[in-house]
């Protein structure tokens, strides 16, 4: 069995963003030369997420509206965690959207349904953060 590891770094300009990283993950698969196996894509920060869904602007807007209803950013003093930071909402949003995805690799390609894409979700941005890509297979 072969294995591959790489870190992808992101430096977002906004506090919250959804970034399609599907091409980046496919590039890692190509680089790994693994044609059958699995890829783990993991947000390595507790205020960021990796998830699979459709790349449609209206849906991303709906995610943002839903997450703000469940865990609004402000007022900051509504959260006990915000004694030292102002990102309690980002921790909650990450928990809702998920930490990682595991995807099948078949014939050196992501084995996806017709609309599936991989996204990096940033909930406390404006600083450098990373995603781990770990591939195993043959």
Of 9, 83, 75, 76, the residue nearest 45 (C-alpha): 9
pLDDT in tens, 22-39: 999 999 999 999 999 999
Which pTM does this prediction carry? 0.96
Domain 2-137's class? Answer: mainly beta
Quickly count: other Cβ atoms within 10 Å of residue 31's Cβ: 12
Residues 49 and 16: beta-carbon distance below 8 Å: no
Residue 124 has pLDDT above 90, yes or no: yes
Q: What is the mean pLDDT of the chain?
A: 97
Q: Percentage of the chain with pLDDT > 90?
A: 98
Residues 129 and 44: beta-carbon distance below 8 Å: yes
pLDDT in tens, 47-75: 999 999 999 999 999 999 999 999 999 99
Of 134, 109, 135, the residue nearest 43 (C-alpha): 134
């Amino acid at each position: 069995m072969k294995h591959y590891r790489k870190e992808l770094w992101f430096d977002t300009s906004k506090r919250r963003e959804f970034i399609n990283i599907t091409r980046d993950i496919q590039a890692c698969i190509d680089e790994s030369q693994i044609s059958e196996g699995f890829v783990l894509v993991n947000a390595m920060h507790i205020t960021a997420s990796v998830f699979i869904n459709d790349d449609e602007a209206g849906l991303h807007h709906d995610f943002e509206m839903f997450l703000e209803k469940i865990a609004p950013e402000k007022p900051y003093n509504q959260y006990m965690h915000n004694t030292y930071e102002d990102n309690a909402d980002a921790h909650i949003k990450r928990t809702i959207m998920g930490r990682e995805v595991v995807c099948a690799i078949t014939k050196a390609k992501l084995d996806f349904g017709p609309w599936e894409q991989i996204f990096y979700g940033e909930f406390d941005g404006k600083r450098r953060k990373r995603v781990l890509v770990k591939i195993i297979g043959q």
